Amino acid sequence: MIRLRSVEIALSGVFTALALAIPLLFRGTLQFVIPEIGYSATLASHVPVMLSIVVGPSVAAMVGFASTLGFLLTLGPVVAARAATHILFGVTAAMAVRRGLSYPKALFLVALPLHSIPEGLVVIPFGIPLWGALINIVGGTIHHIVDSIISIIILRSALPLIRNLRLPGAPKA
């Protein structure tokens, strides 16, 4: 049984709401879309799941699912299938952070390949050609790096608060 403290439940709700709101509210403004190959990049869309990594794997899974739902509602099944990789990379990176890997290393060494490569491959069953899958991988990599930098800046800015909350994946120094 998964037991979450009140602060973890509260952060889960905040990050889940953000994961749903970003695709719904940023649609057409902070979003770049190439529908023919199932590619989209919505600025900061990975930030909620990336921040949930420090809370824990179960929260990262919930936030990743919310992101998937948000993109299903706005951009359809191909982009939602790509967004489902947020569950994979969020849970895996959260487990790595829990085991002592630093947050930036978890984002770049664990989450990045588990995000970008599956995001490119998952479009192939929808009839996207291999060159389209490659664009999804490269574009997803760039997008992941940008959102990782945003997430690291936010996390470092919030470190005093995070330390007081005693989150399982909170940086020690």
Neighbours of 120 (CB within 10 A): 26
- Spatial distance between the Cα atoms of 152 and 169, rounded to a whole number of angstroms: 14
pLDDT score at 62: 96
Residue 83 has pLDDT above 60, yes or no: yes
pLDDT band at 64 (very low <50, low <70, confident <90, very high): very high
Residue 56 has pLDDT above 90, yes or no: yes
pLDDT score at 165: 74
Name the token pair of 122: 């998952």
Average pLDDT over residues 6-17: 90
pLDDT band at 84 (very low <50, low <70, confident <90, very high): very high
- Spatial distance between the Cα atoms of 124 and 129, rounded to a whole number of angstroms: 6
- Spatial distance between the Cα atoms of 168 and 56, rounded to a whole number of angstroms: 7
Average pLDDT over residues 91-113: 97
Domains and CATH numbers, the chain: 6-165 (1.10.1760.20)
Q: What is the largest CA-CA distance in the chain?
A: 49
Residue 173 has pLDDT above 90, yes or no: no
pLDDT score at 3: 78
One-letter amino acid at 65 equals: F
Beta strand 39-42 with 31-34 is: antiparallel
Angle, vertex CA 58, rays to CA 54 and CA 59, nearest 5: 55
Average pLDDT over residues 63-73: 96
- Spatial distance between the Cα atoms of 53 and 59, rounded to a whole number of angstroms: 8
Let me know: does 52 contact 94? Beta carbons within 8 Å: yes
Nearest one of 97, 88, 79 to 115, comparing CA atoms: 88
Residue 160 has pLDDT above 90, yes or no: no
Name the token pair of 162: 């995070």
Let me know: does 59 contact 167? Beta carbons within 8 Å: no
pLDDT band at 27 (very low <50, low <70, confident <90, very high): confident
Average pLDDT over residues 68-82: 96
pLDDT score at 113: 98
When the pLDDT of each residue in the chain is averaged and rounded to a whole number, the result is 92
